Structures are given as structure tokens and as C-alpha cells.
Chain A
Amino acid sequence: MNTKGKQSMLNIVLAKYGILISLLILIIFFAIQAPNFLSVRNITNLFRQISILSLLSTGLTCCMILNEFDLSVGEVAGLSGVLVTSLMLSGYSFVFSIVIVLILGFLIGLVNGLIVVKLKIFSFIVTLAMSSIALGFNYFISRGRPVYGQFPNSFNIIGIGYVAGIPFPTIISIGVLIIGIVFTMKTKYGRYMYAIGGNIIAAKHSGINTDWYRIIVMGISSLCAASGGIVLASRLGSGQPTAGSGYLMNCFAACFLGTAIFSKKIPTLLGTFIGVIIIGILSNGLTMISIPYYYENIIKGVVLIAAVSLTIFQNNSK
């Protein structure tokens, strides 16, 4: 009986903190392998690098809380980058351009939500289709070529500026994250979101307007994607049509890593953020120890599986 007890303690610790332990292991590993890994410069770099992934993942996680998928986050980000730069090149002010693109992003999400709710089509399919449409408009505006130009300084600061040593993108993404965490964990709207994701029938019976929430949250997801696209365009100094495509997989990876944290198996913004950090550290760390980029995907996949499998040691009560 005693050894069984000890084994279950280990299982509980692994189930609860497996991901965090993995994170720690990664940090220690890279710190040992690369002398500059823990330098202020590199850490600042890291946080700037993950800010766009963080923005997109924050919006996506809100969708996942409601049990909806948003497969369009990457392409909406790409479209937003191309659109905001094109608008500025056409002479619109940077404020106007940004506001228009953000509104458009939100509207795309609302449309996604309306189709899901009113036509009762799975969000997976709707957003998959929408991502294709977004890509189409992307190429339409950009003609498949990057949008280069001299953009206002205030725009450039978004992507490459600093405030008190902290990169601007980090401030934006952390700001959005904090608002999101407070909103989802502490407000009644967040509680309703989790209720809908947990049991939509019970939520409806409890008087929650589930249609409304699903539509709005899908809007928020696209809004976050749009904001990420804008920050990305500013960092790259141009509107790159293909910039958004790679983000979708990483967003989902971060979100699922996040669900494995704290053994509750539900999406949380904080959990997703830790997932984002893990992905960011992998990318950053591998570069620091000069591993060629083509290994990165393989290693990322392996680490992902390893990290999640640590947490599945649930107490098998059977």
C-alpha cells in the first residue's frame, strides 16, 4: 500500500505540474548549452518574438473556451498586415488604417460567429473556409507581393520600439493577456464563457445567451488575430502576404499545451501563455545553440508530445 501511495503522489505532481516542469527543464538545458541564453538581451528578444504568437493565441484560446475552433487566425493576421500597410501607402493616416483593420478583423469574426450560430455549421469548417477567403483577399490586395514602403514612425514603433526597455509588442501582448485573464477568470462574462464551453445545453437552460457569446467571442478571436497581424507588419516593416500562414499550428500547439497545465484539461489564457513561452524558448534556444532551422520542427513536435505525455499520468482508479 505504501509504494502505491508514493506512486500516486508522483502521478499527481506530474499531472498538475508536468508542463511547468518541462518548461523548467528546457530553460535549464538551454542555459547550460548557450551562455547568452539567460542574458537580458536574449530574454527581451524572446519576449518580443513571442508577442505576436501570444496575441493570436489569446484570441484563439477564448474561442476554445467556448468549444469553438478558429482556423482563420493565421490568415486574418496575414490579411491585416497586408491591408494596414496598403492603406497607409494609399495615404491614410496610421491611426485610421489601424482602426479600420481592427474593425474589419472584428467583423470577420462576427461573420464567422453568425454563420456558426444561425446556420448551425461547425466552427471548424466555417473558419477553415474563412481562412481561405481571407487569403484570397490578401492576394487580391497584395497581388502576392510584399507591400513595401515608408511607413509613419508611429507605426514602426509598434513593432520595433521600446518603452522603458520593454519591447512595444510585448507591452501590447501582455496587456491584452492581462485583460483577457482578468476577464475570463474573474468576471461573470468569463464564467459564462466557461459554462458554455463546459455544457452549452446547461448554459442555455441557465439563461445564458449562448448565441450572443459565441458570435462575440469569435469576433474577439479575429480581432486579436488582426492586432497580431498589424504588429507583425510593423516588425517586418512591410506587409508580407505569407506572414500569417505559419501561426495556426503554433497557436493550437500553445493552446493544447495550456490545457495540460494544472490538470484541469480546460483552455486557460495563462496556460496558453505558458505554451507560447515553451514554443518561443524552443525556437529561440535552438537558434542560440546553432541548430539548423530545419531541425526545429521535428524537435518542436517531439517536445510537445513529451511535455503533454508527462501530464497524462492521472490516477488510474480502476
Chain B
Amino acid sequence: MNEKEIILKTKKLTKTFLGTIALNEVDFELREEEIHALIGENGAGKSTFSKIISGAYVSTSGEIFIHEQKVNIKNSSDALKLGIGIVFQERDLVPWLTAVENIFLGRELLNSIFLCPGKMKEELRTFMQEIGVEIPLDQPVIELGPSEQQMVEILKVLLQKPRVMILDEPTSSLTEKETLSFFKLLKTLKKKVSIIFISHRLEEVFEISDRITVLRDGKKIDTVETAKTSPEEIIKMMVDREISNLYPKEEIRFGEDVLEVKNLSVGKLKQINFKARRGEIVGIAGIVGAGRTELLEAIFGLEKLEEGEIILNGEKVYPKSPGEMIKKGVYLIPENRRVAGLILQMNVAENLSIIHLSKVCSGCMINNQKEKILAKRLIDKFGIKVNNVAQNINNLSGGNQQKVVIGKWLAEKATLLLMDEATSGIDVGAKREIYRIIQGLAKEGTAIIYTSSDLPELIGISDRIYVLSEGRISPEIHRKNFSQQEIVKIATVTV
């Protein structure tokens, strides 16, 4: 099996930031024609590793070898010259430039000082034909869908003929269908360029990778051949304990209706009907763009209803503002924590107290002692790992940040908890803790509405599932009737 040459190797690669060891003497090997998955919890060091290899960071110590030759990577252009390209999770394109313009950015084909758009397009078209890909070339990339935008970034890297391509969470904004064709592409590509595939999604890793390297707390735990291992083994390496039950589910008796939505229409949503009861976890499935966030925001008072009724605990309500709904015990945990969930310039305690700030005030003056006590209580309750409560929120790992996003609401009991992709971008261990938290809330009688793109997760934790598709909602599906295929079918069939 070792006939394939080693393209990239690291020896004792280490990175420290001001006393924190982000990467601890990591040895890594990437072979020719390989898709090598890099897995680990948030904070394990995956993105630090990929940033060092691609030149965004400089390593503190350790060596990098390309084709057994030691190399020095001081910045991204060094990395590119050595044939290392990276496609990040978040899009890095100039929105109003076209695909061609973005792909050739900085490397435009010129005739003395003039651009040659024709030549660039031709080169691009030839390449796209070779690998069997097609994207619109003349529209500004902002008008393209997420999978097409990602393809622009991948093409940008590929046209520079790299030996190594790092893909950071490439499927996070793709639909199932798009992921399938993406994997087909990767299998063709790996013959030309070896791929380091960073992902949280174990099913995908097992589908596409040849080998898996697991990182934990900055250290490499092991590298195994995908065919010779199992998800359980990988999880054990990631979190160092048996995760017997990924989705803790208990029998809970449901109470009366907490929420009833009748004929709600707003934006792309039309005639939505559904309900949620005390103690129930109601899952909302649907592809990206189906309207799940819009639905939750309408209930929360961020969007005005065009039509329909919302009945909360038997009373008709007209949500006009989040402030109003919060007073009624309705909380929305938003989708993108960096955009809507956290105030990054504030510290952990300040973020935790922002929702129920009055409760730590004497009159209108903030009582710092009370605030600290509240922060400590929430940190204990939700297992948030911090050095101290006055720490800047930026320094926390993604999973811990997400716990802050969730925890800050729950200082006061929720009647109805709306959760929008609450476990996106966090690792298995933290996810499980969040599921436990959700179960605990359900036991206390909170009704929970939970949207997710992760179907196994939704099936694991929900009591009933509704599927949103093109703005319309399906009839409810009971837990005993859950089937992944059925749900995907409903989500993608045009109503």
C-alpha cells in the first residue's frame, strides 16, 4: 500500500499562541492520489494545521516536507508556489466580480497591460470540461448558489495546478444532491491533486476518504485507513470516551399545546400550519433556502406576518418585536453565532448576561457581582470551558461559543425555545452535551422547535418532524415513522 509517494509530510509541527499550545508536535503524511480526512473536535487544531500548511500562520517549530524536501512556508504565496491550495469554509470571493474574474484574480492573463477575458474564459472552459464541471461564467458570483460559489473557489485553486488541496468543511452549505456530485468530482480530482478533507460529518468522511487522521487537543491521536476502521472507533479517538448514545432520548409526557401556528404566510412561506406541545421537540427539516429561519423569525417577532395566526399557550399573539416575545418566554437561538449570536467585543460574562440583564441589575445599574454569579452558574450548568468569566469571547472554541449562545437565554425558563441550526460547526462531544441540555429543557416542560440540515441529528432528537419545502410545510411525521429517505424526498420534491 505504500507504493504511492508521499507528497506532503510534517514532523513535530507545533504552534503556540501566547502560551496556548494550539498544535503539539503533529506528524502528518499525505500520499499521492489520496483523499485524507482530518477530523477532530473544535479546538483540536485542524484549522491551525491547515492554516500553517497554506501559509496563513507560521509554525512555532517543526518541519514541513514536500516530496521529502524540507520547505519553509512563510506566507500564502510561498504555499501556492509549493503547490498547496486551500478552500476555506467561508467564501472568500469578490461578490460583484464574475467567476472568471474571481478565478483569475491576481493572475490575470494580459496582453501588455490589457486584460484578455477571452483567453481566460477559454482556459477555464477547457479545464471545466476536463473535470466535468459547469458553472455560469458571466454573472457576478453573488448571484450564484452556494455550491456554485464553492466551485468557483475550488476552480481558482485547481487552475494553479496544486499538488495538495485543503478543503475545510466543503459540504457545510451543500444539499445532499450537490454533495453527491461533489464527491464524484473529488474522486476524479484525487488522481491529479491530493486532498486534505476537513469535516465534522463522519458519514461523509467514511464515504469519501482513503485515510483518516484524528486530532485531539492539538495532538495527533492516530492515522488509520478508512476501510479498516469504524465511526465508533473514530469518535472514541476524538473524545476519548465511549459515546454509546449519540442522541440521548427519554420518554417524556407531552402537555398542552404551547404553540399553534395557523395559516401563516410571510415572505416565501405560505399557509404554514403546525403545533408544538409542552415537553416536545419538534424538528423542522428542509434544504437550505426552504424558509426555516424565516419561520422561526416570524414567530419571534423579527418579521411581520402577512397572513395567519400565532397562538401561544392558548392566547392569540401578534409578535411585533423580539423584546416582546422574550417577555413571553419565547427565545430564538439564531443560526450564525458570529453574525447574530455573540457580541465579539464583549467578554464571556457580558455575553451571558445580555438577555436577562435586568435580573443582574439593581434598578438600572448593573451589579457586577450578580453578573459574575450568573455567569458562573451558566458556565457550570452548560459546561462552558473558560479560563475566567472576563475572558474575551473570541478565545473560546466554536463549541463553547455555541454554548454561550444557547446558555445566555436559559437563565430564565423558556416557554418556547426556537433553535436554528443550534449545533452547526461544532464537534461531536459538544453536540452531545447540547442534546443533553435540550432533553433537560424538554423535561422541564419547554416546547422546542429545532431546525437542522443534519437529518440524522433531527431524526435522533425529535419527537415529530415537519418538512419545509419551497415555503410550504408537510404534515407532521411521528417519531415511529421517521425515515431519512422519506424526509429527503419530501424536502426536495417540488410541491
- What is A's interface to B at a CB cutoff of 8 Å? 8, 186-189, 191-192, 194-195, 198-199, 201-209, 264-266, 315, 317-318
Contact = CB atoms under 8 A, between A and B. Distances in A.
Interface of B: 17-18, 56-58, 302, 321-323, 325-326, 332, 334, 339-346, 350, 354-355, 357-358, 361, 364-366, 408
Contacts of A198: 343-346
A207 B326 contact: yes
A264 B302 CA distance: 31
A189 B364 CA distance: 8
15 contacts: A188-B361, A191-B350, A192-B357, A194-B345, A199-B339, A199-B340, A199-B342, A202-B342, A203-B343, A205-B334, A207-B321, A207-B323, A208-B323, A209-B321, A264-B345
Contacts of B302: 204-205
B73 to A, nearest CB: 12
Nearest to A195: B343
Contact of B18 (A264, A266, A315): A315
Contact of B346 (A195, A201, A205): A195
Contacts of A206: 322, 354-355, 408
B357 A188 contact: yes
A209 B324 CA distance: 10
Contacts of A188: 357-358, 361, 364-366
Contacts of A318: 56-58
Interface centre among A198, A199, A203, A205 (most CB of B within 10 A): A205
B366 A191 contact: yes
A202 B345 contact: no
B345 A207 contact: no
Contacts of A317: 17-18
A188 B365 CA distance: 6
Contacts of B325: 207
Interface centre among A189, A206, A318 (most CB of B within 10 A): A206
A200 B37 CA distance: 37
A7 to B, nearest CB: 13
A264 B358 CA distance: 25
A207 B355 contact: yes
Contacts of B357: 188, 191-192
Contacts of A195: 343, 346, 354
B238 to A, nearest CB: 26
Instruction: Report the 3 A-B pairs with minimum CB-CB distance, sorted nearest first.
Output: A207-B323, A198-B343, A207-B326
A173 to B, nearest CB: 23
A209 B326 CA distance: 12
Contacts of A265: 345
Contacts of B339: 199, 201-202
B336 to A, nearest CB: 9
A201 B355 CA distance: 14
Contacts of B334: 202, 205
Nearest to B354: A206
A207 B328 CA distance: 12
A171 B449 CA distance: 56
Contact of B343 (A186, A202, A207, A209): A202
Contacts of A201: 339-340
B375 to A, nearest CB: 14
Contacts of A203: 343, 354
Contacts of A209: 321, 323
A205 B323 contact: no
Contacts of B18: 8, 315, 317
Contacts of B57: 318
Given A188-B364, A206-B322, A318-B56, 16 more contacts: A8-B18, A188-B365, A191-B366, A199-B339, A199-B342, A199-B344, A202-B334, A202-B340, A202-B342, A204-B302, A204-B322, A206-B408, A207-B326, A208-B323, A209-B321, A265-B345
Contacts of A204: 302, 322
Contacts of A315: 18
Nearest to A8: B18
Contacts of B350: 191
A206 B331 CA distance: 9
B364 A266 contact: no
Contact of B340 (A187, A192, A205, A266): A205
Contacts of A191: 350, 354, 357, 366
B153 to A, nearest CB: 22
A21 B381 CA distance: 43
Contacts of B322: 204-207
Nearest to B408: A206
A189 B366 CA distance: 9
Contacts of A264: 345
Contacts of B354: 191, 195, 203, 206
A187 to B, nearest CB: 5
Contact of A205 (B341, B344, B358, B361): B341
A207 to B, nearest CB: 4
A187 B358 CA distance: 10
A207 B58 CA distance: 42
Interface centre among B344, B364, B408 (most CB of A within 10 A): B364
A8 B322 CA distance: 44
A186 B355 CA distance: 16
A187 B362 CA distance: 9
Contacts of B321: 207, 209
Nearest to B360: A188
Given A187-B366, A318-B58, A205 B332 contact: yes
A187 B323 contact: no
B360 to A, nearest CB: 9
B347 to A, nearest CB: 11
B364 A187 contact: yes
A208 B350 CA distance: 14
A192 B350 CA distance: 10
Nearest to A185: B366
B215 to A, nearest CB: 20
A179 to B, nearest CB: 13
Nearest to A266: B345
A121 B302 CA distance: 20
Nearest to B74: A318
Contacts of A199: 339-340, 342-344
Interface centre among B302, B343, B361, B365 (most CB of A within 10 A): B343
Contacts of A189: 364
A140 to B, nearest CB: 40
